[in-house]
Amino acid sequence: MSILINRGVSRIQKWNRCNSLLKAATGYLERVKKLKLQVGREGITGYVAKTGKTYYSPDVTKDKRYIVGVKSVRSEVAIPLKIENKTIGVLDVESKEYDGFSEWEIKLLTSIAAQLAIAIEKSRLFEKTKLLSLTDPLTELPNRRHFDIIIDAELKRSARYNRPLSLLLIDFDNFKKYNDDFGHIAGDKVLKGYAGIMKSAIREVDFICRYGGDEFIVVLPETDETFARAVAQRIITNVNKGSKKFTITLSIGVSTYPLDGEDKNELVHAADKACYIAKSNTRPFSWG
């Protein structure tokens, strides 16, 4: 986005039913940043919020919809931020040049807007989940209920955009025996310690939860089978390096959408089956 922003000014507007709320802006005076626009009634962004369609004004001085914010602005493009055909905001970029945006630049901004919409929606979902009891108290990781919400949303997105998604099912080997030998307090320390190590081995966009007992699941968006195997190997490597005082090993099963299943249950089953194979072969991980 900075390529275009450096030539002008930009802002991101988030909408409720009636008015806009500015979420981010660059190049505007403070008084302009505080403006509230009525959806569908005021300005180019208001029009885009109502229609859900991209609007390009090559000469705002001749555009009745334009509301003057920065006097030097000559052209403006506004692109809806959409989730499942619902407009949740508007990306608005203005230029000091007449006809300041090429067709290629508008396509680039459209791609950026799509990514912004996903980021905003993920933030909204995160805030929503905080209101619920979705955290495992021991490991401080999300719990199974949280997993159900995230995997459903990610599968819908993968299906909509025809993108891969992978799951890792992680199981502690002989954990029951460890609990019997050393006690549940020691077992809890292992779970908490390993949880932190595993979380540090994945990307920020990935999702890890305590699925139940000594089982954990990692959701890997935009990840095919090959990269998922690499992530599994990285988790094993990090655990081996960071847990020398523990004698427990891990088995990891890998499954990938849509190769191993097209819904949550199929993917979890495939990953569980692969994890069982890993245990049977005394290998650190396997995949379905």
**Which residue bears the tokens 């099912």?**
169
Distance between CA atoms of 28 and 18, rounded to whole angstroms? 23
User: What span, in angstroms and rounded, lies between the C-alpha atoms of 160 and 13?
Assistant: 25
SS3 call for 61: helix
Active-site position among 136, 214, 260, 272: 214
Catalytic residue flag (residue 171): no
Strands (E), the chain: 8-15, 20-26, 55-57, 75-83, 86-95, 165-172, 207-212, 215-221, 250-257, 285-287
Q: How many CA atoms lie within 13 A of 31 on its CB side?
A: 3
Distance CA 205, CA 220 (A): 8
Q: In degrees to the nearest 10, what's the CA dihedral of 266, 267, 270, 272?
A: -110
Q: How far apart are CA 99 and CA 56, in angstroms?
A: 9
Tokens of 32: 């302009």
Please give the positions annotated as active site: 214
